[in-house]
Structures are given as C-alpha cells and as structure tokens.
Amino acid sequence: MKKERLLLWTLAAVNFTHIVDFMIMMPLGPQLMRVFAISPQQFGLLVSSYTFSAGISSFIGAFILDKYDRRSIFLWVFVGFLMGTLACALSPNYGFLLAARIVSGLFGGLTSALIFAVIGDAVPDGRRGRAMGLVMGAFSVASVFGVPFGLFIASLSSWHAPFFFLAVLAVGILWLIYRYVPSITAHLLQQGEGRPNPQQVIRRVTGNANQMRAISLTVLMMLGQFMIIPFLSPFMVSNVGFSELELTYIYMAGGFFTVFTSPWVGRLTDKYGKVRVFSVFMTLNVIPIGILTHLGVTPVFLALFVSTVFFITSNGRMVPAAALITGTAKPENRGSFLSFNAAVQQLSAGLASFLAGMVLVEGADGRLMNFEWVGYLAILLSLLCIPLIRRIQVVDTEAVLEKVPAGATVEK
C-alpha cells in the first residue's frame, strides 16, 4: 500500500545516508593515509572508531528506544547524526576527524537499530523479505552513486567534500522522516504503565535463547565480512594495481548489480524461506573472499568481476538474515533487542577491522602482506553461520500498522 511504500522509501533514504557516511572512509583510505601520513593500523582505528562508538550508543539505546514514540526519537537521533557528519566535513586534522567519526558513530548506531525496529512494527513477516530488500538496496545505490560521487568531488577538491555533500543531503532526509515516518507507540501500550528498568531489559535479551542465537549470528557475520571490507580498497591499490580513480569502479559495479539483486533476493526470501536463501548466498560468498584475498597484480576487468560477485553475495546473505533477526522479538521489546543487536553488530565490525589491521603489515614496497590469512579466518567464520541460522525462529509475524485504519497513526 502507498503508506507503507512511502515509509520504506524514507527508511531507504536514511539507510543510504548512513551507509555512505560509513563506506566513504574505506575508498578514501589511500588518500587519507597519504594526507595524514598514517599507518594501516591508524587507518584501521579511523574505521573502527565509528563502529565501536556506534556499538556503545546502540547498547545504551537498548534502555531507551522502547520508551518513546519511534518517530520522535528517530528525528532526534538523525539530527545528531547530521551534526556528526558536519563535524567530519570540518575536520582539520587526523585527531579531529577521529573524534568526529566517534560522534557520527554514536548516532549512526541508533539510526540503524531504529530502521529495523520501524520495519518490524510496520511490515508483517510475510512481506519483511521484500521490505528488507528495498531498504537494504540503499547499499547498492550508495555504491553506484553515493560513494563514486563522493570520491569524484573529493578528487576535484579534497576529502572534506563528500562529508559536506552528506550533510546537505541529510537535511532533506530529515524532512522525509518528519513527513512519512508515522507515530508508532503500540509497543508502549503493550508494555503497560510499568516500563522495564535496565536490568529487566538485559534479562529479556540475555535470557532469551532464540534472541541470543540471533545475536551470535550477527557476530559471526560481521567478523567474517569486516575483516575484509575496510582493507579492500588499500589492498586493491597496493597489491592488485588499481589507481585511486579505479577504486570507484569496484563500488559502481558491485552497487549496480545489487540494485537489481537486492529486491530479487527479498522476493526469494519471502517465497523460499529465510534460512534456505541465506545458506545459499553465504556458501557462495566465501568463494570471492578466497579469491580476493589471494590476488596479485590482476587486470582490472577480472578483479572487478570477483569484487562484484563478493558484493552481490554479501548483500544476498544480509537480506534474509536481517528479516529473520527482526522477527525474533515482539513489538514491546523489539527496539531494545535490535539496539542490542546493532551494538553487537557495530562492535563486531569494529573488532574485525581492528584485528585485521593488526595482522596486516605494509611491506617495503608498499604492498599489504598477510591478507590471505585474514581471508582464511573470514571464510571459517562465515561458514559457521549456516548451522547457527537453522536454530533461529521467528516469533512475531504481525505488523502494528495493519491493525489500525489506513491513514491513522498508532498513538498511546
């Protein structure tokens, strides 16, 4: 229906901004390492600082997200994200940029949790695969347009430009949130007058074996992917022979194809089941991981083919996983659980990039060494996800917005 489509497009726009803000750091890696004269370890900290702070804020958010109208807190969180992005744009040095990335991460982590909470509240289980495919398709658009455009304007001026672009874009998206995200407070009604204290919030999640399995799945997926992704761009430049300009081809090619495959995977998820579709794409995903981490000097076309398959299969496993994880919580504690999950997701991603940065060393000729060992570990962790996801169950299949008349809001 129209109301649901407008909501999903708005959430996709939010996700686009959030993803570009995080992703743009990785292809800017070679430029930032040169401008600030920093090591791979310092660059790894620049990437992981965002995810670590996002993880901390998501953990704190678990105690507050279910206490407020989803729309109201969404607006405040996105304003904070906008301010953090603007601070990145104005950063004069490495230390200031590191601090600004921490601020952006604090609000970015909450944004991610709120997107999935709203989808869980607004879309029934039978359509969540399609909804996730649309919203997560923002990754594809970010890859095709956001990241290449950011790199393009960075090449014309400086690395500050992409963050100014994001800040301006976020102002428009803030209006979309105000206009199309409805007031959702059904979770407050289901909680009753007594709101859970922090100890009860923690016990609800840690005492639920099904939700803990979902969180464990998140940990393994993030470790398996973010040991690779942050260092893909520096590796392609130093080892494979890409120029900094040619890095845009990686994101454009991967994003172009996932624009079409993401909604397709969403439909497959609703038709054939989340576990089956996840298992297929996770198995396929380890193939490009193994190839990418062993590449030497390679023709651009062949390297692009492998990286594109990597992005397609990575996206393909995320859509069913997100749909399944969202359905493991009831509305009354969905925000808390998804905030916990987002915290674990961000901390795991940060830990993965930090650990990979410790393993990798820069050779005398500028090449990154030991990337193949990082690949072996990523493959092992990824394959462990398949038996784990088979033990996770969906417990909520309804959507609160379908319980009220069209055009109405869910008010307390």
Report the C-alpha gap between 230 and 227 in whole angstroms: 7
pLDDT in tens, 350-379: 788 778 888 888 777 778 888 899 999 999
Which amino acid, 160?
A: H
CB 66 within 8 A of CB 110: no
Question: Cα-atom radius of gyration of the chain, to the nearest Å?
Answer: 20
Question: pLDDT tier at 204 (50, 70, 90 boundaries)?
Answer: confident
Indicate if the pLDDT at residue 37 is higher than 50.
yes
Is residue 400 predicted with pLDDT exceeding 60? Answer: no
User: Is residue 411 scored above 70 in pLDDT?
Assistant: no
For the entire predicted model, the pTM comes to 0.70
Share of the chain above pLDDT 70, in %: 88
Q: Give mean pLDDT, residues 133-158.
A: 74
Asked if the model's pLDDT at residue 144 lies above 70, the reply is no
Weakest-pLDDT range from 169-173, 245-249, 389-393: 245-249
Decide: 121 and 400 in contact? Cβ < 8 Å.
yes
* pLDDT tens sequence across 174-188: 999 988 887 776 656
DSSP state of 194: P
Res. 70: pLDDT tops 70: yes
Report DSSP letters for 242-304, one per residue: --TTTHHHHHHHHHHHHHHHHHHHHHHHHHH-HHHHHHHHHHHHHHHHHHHTT--S--HHHHH
pLDDT digits (tens, 9 = 90+) for 256-285: 888 788 888 888 988 898 999 999 999 999
Going by C-alpha positions, the residue among 9, 63, 15, 49 that lies closest to residue 318 is 15
Name the token pair of 171.
Answer: 């102002």
